[in-house]
Amino acid sequence: MRDFVSKRARAIPPSGIRKFFDIAQTMEDVISLGVGEPDFVTPWCVCEASIYSIEQGSTAYTSNKGTPQLRDAISRYLDSRFSTRYDPEAEIIVTCGVSEAADIAIRAVTDPGDEILVAEPCYVSYNPCVSLAGGAPVPVLCRAADEFRLTADALAESITPKTKALIANFPNNPTGGVMEEADWRGIADILVDHDLLLISDEVYAELTYDGDHFSPARLPELRDRTITLNGFSKAFAMTGWRIGYLCAPPEITAAALKIHQYVALCAPVMGQIAAYEALRNGEAEKDAMVQEYRLRRNLFVDGLNNLGLACHVPKGAFYAFPSVESTGMTDVEFAEGLLREQHVAVVPGSALGPSGAGHVRCAYAVSRDDLKEALSRMGTFLESLK
């Protein structure tokens, strides 16, 4: 029989944490700091609204781009929360999570041979999506010394005549780094000079602890060269509902919509109804969750630094990204040792891009008691190395 698997699919590298996953599966008492999702259950008002709609028989396809009421609510939310304006009819598509939004955004703008810059370390999907679209992902490194911001210098160095777009995710998974207005202004000049597009994944926007999130599409010079991606998973603890959205100028939105309607048809209606309720009545619970993440961050980052694992204070998302260089181990050795010896799961930074090497990603989206237990086990592990 022929080998039916395509060269493209074959070329996608295997997941960097498969091995860890298998080890963790054999253990009973793992404390996992490896999960990129909230530990909270979706606010009850959101679940209840969705359950009710199912009881009422709301189980059919929706408009490809999402229900009008949800698009309208998203438009108003973005305006009031982040001061960005998008027309709910022509500039917003509701997608199956931000993952799908990223995929269709990349496919809508990438031609074979295009170089797409990816600010990393970063979420693992961007590079494969660029490759599957026929483009060439090119890393732009964000460094610990810059608190993992994307700098204008690093960006400028990576641009070639083939460069078409930049993908950036701030607040950042895995570093917790954020970009403020001044940071974006420096980036905007370069994007305009080289006539580049920005794909800005802002799924952690609500999880910004010191100051407000700045959405780059607020800058007039970037407004029409930016695709903004956002979603409900992180802010409203709704990962399993799979609701994200893409916002872009009408021409790009129309192109992305063609891809979306053929690959996904529409986002699940139950999720869309839930998302609408989250925007209407979920704010207080969202704020309470954000407050709790902030407390956990304070507790955990203080603990890491006390253990001698140097960690900058992440200003957003729910990840701490400490350096493990003081142990003399690589991030993969550290993560594997910690899992095997002390049953604490963290993600090696190098699995999230070369500039993540020497760091581990710890998601503090677990209870404070678990964080304390994890810190104590990490302390025992570090002692055992001496």
Partner 1 sequence: MDEKDRILLHLLEENCRTPEKELAVLAEMSEEDVKDRIGRLETDGVIRRYGAVVDWERAGDGNVAAVLELKVSPERDFGYDRIAERIARFPQVRSLRLMTGAYDLQILVTGPSMHEIARFVSEQIAPMDRIRETATHIIMKTYKENGTTFAGREEVERLPYSF
| Residue 39 touching partner 1 (CB under 8 A) | yes
The yes or no reply on residue 34 touching partner 1 (CB under 8 A) is: yes
The verdict on 47 binding partner 1 (CB under 8 A) reads no
Our finding on whether 73 is near partner 1 (CB under 8 A) is no
Cα separation, 234 vs 216, whole angstroms: 20
**CB of 275 or CB of 352, closer to partner 1:** 352
Distance, in Å, from the CA atom of 71 to the CA atom of 127, rounded to the nearest integer, reads 28
Residue 25 in contact with partner 1, rule: CB under 8 A: yes
User: Minimal distance in Å, beta carbon 40 to partner 1?
Assistant: 11
* Closest distance to partner 1 from the beta carbon of 296 (Å): 9
One character per residue 275-304, x = contact with partner 1 (rule: CB under 8 A): ----------------x---x--xx--x--
Beta bridge partners of 247: 92, 228
- Contact between 380 and 386 under an 8 Å Cβ cutoff? The reply is no
Total residues binding partner 1 (CB under 8 A): 25
37 contacts partner 1 (rule: CB under 8 A): yes
Q: Does the footprint of partner 1 cover residue 24 (CB under 8 A)?
A: yes
Contacts of 62-66 with C-beta under 8 Å, sequence gap 24+, read 62/266, 62/267, 62/269, 62/272, 63/266, 64/93, 64/257, 64/260, 64/261, 64/265, 64/266, 65/92, 65/93, 65/94, 65/257, 65/260, 65/266, 66/92, 66/93, 66/94, 66/245, 66/266, 66/267, 66/272
Residue 370 contacts partner 1 per CB under 8 A = no
Neighbours of 7 (CB within 10 A): 7
**How far, in Å, CA of 198 to CA of 343, rounded?**
40
CB of 352 to partner 1, least distance (A): 8
30 binds partner 1 (CB under 8 A): yes
Q: Under 8 Å CB-to-CB from 264, ≥6 apart: which residues?
A: 95, 96, 100
Q: Footprint of partner 1 on residues 191-210 (CB under 8 A)?
A: none
- Does position 21 bind partner 1 by CB under 8 A? yes
Task: Select the residue interacting with partner 1 from 110, 173, 230, 342 (CB under 8 A).
Answer: 173
Site string for partner 1, 120-149 (x = CB under 8 A): ---xxx------------------------
From the list 49-57, 153-161, 191-199, 344-352, the region that binds partner 1 by CB under 8 A is 344-352
Are the C-beta atoms of 50 and 242 separated by less than 8 Å? Answer: no
Q: How far is CA 71 from CA 19, 98, 111, 167, 258, in A?
A: 40, 15, 29, 24, 17
Binding residues for partner 1, rule: CB under 8 A, are 17, 20-21, 24-25, 30, 32, 34-37, 39, 41, 123-125, 173, 291, 295, 298-299, 302, 345, 347, 352
